[in-house]
Every structure is written in C-alpha cells, then in structure tokens.
Amino acid sequence: MANLKDRFPENVDGKYYVTTDCIDCDLCRENAPSNFARNDQTGFSYVFKQPAARDEEHQCEEAMKGCPVDAIGNDAQLSLF
C-alpha cells in the first residue's frame, strides 16, 4: 500500500500520487497517459496532472489497482467525483 509520506515531490498536489516504491514498469503511463509521466533522469513515474473528468479518474484507479508494487496511492479525502 502506497504511503503518502513516501510520495515523490514531482507529483502535483491532489488525490493521486506515486511513491518511492516505483519500479518504472510503465503500467500507469500506459493506463492513464493524461495523468502520469516519467522522470527520465531518475527513472520513475509521477502524477503530472490530477484527473479532471470521470474517464481520467477511472484510468487513474485502474493504474493504481494494477501497479505491481503498490506505488500509486490516493487520498480519498480529496476526491473530486
């Protein structure tokens, strides 16, 4: 389970975030390309844009559920939908 205290500083503020557990598998970027990006210098993913529509929310949820190392978290208190 992702821990908020381990989130990368590159994540934009908001519900979703990626933690230092990321192994750069590319799953989140494939599932939610409008929200996740890769830091090419350090080799990890981060949330560059929080979901702004239900379809993006669904894609982020799928990315989080599919993450093989549970490096994607969300703060349900910040839910927009």
CATH: 3.40.718.10, 3.30.70.20, 1.10.10.10, 3.90.950.20. Which one for 4-78?
A: 3.30.70.20
- With beta carbons less than 8 A apart as the criterion, state whether 47 and 7 touch: no
Residue 18 half-sphere exposure toward CB, CA atoms < 13 A = 30
| Residue 67 DSSP one-character state | -
Taking the domains of the chain in order of start, what are their residue ranges? 4-78
| Short-list 34, 27, 38, CA closest to 65 | 27
Sign of CA dihedral 35, 72, 61, 16: negative
Beta carbons within 8 Å of 37's beta carbon, 6+ residues apart: 29, 45, 46, 48
pTM: 0.90
**pLDDT tens digit at each of 81 positions of the chain:** 898 899 999 999 999 999 999 999 999 999 999 999 999 999 999 999 999 999 999 999 999 999 999 999 998 655 554
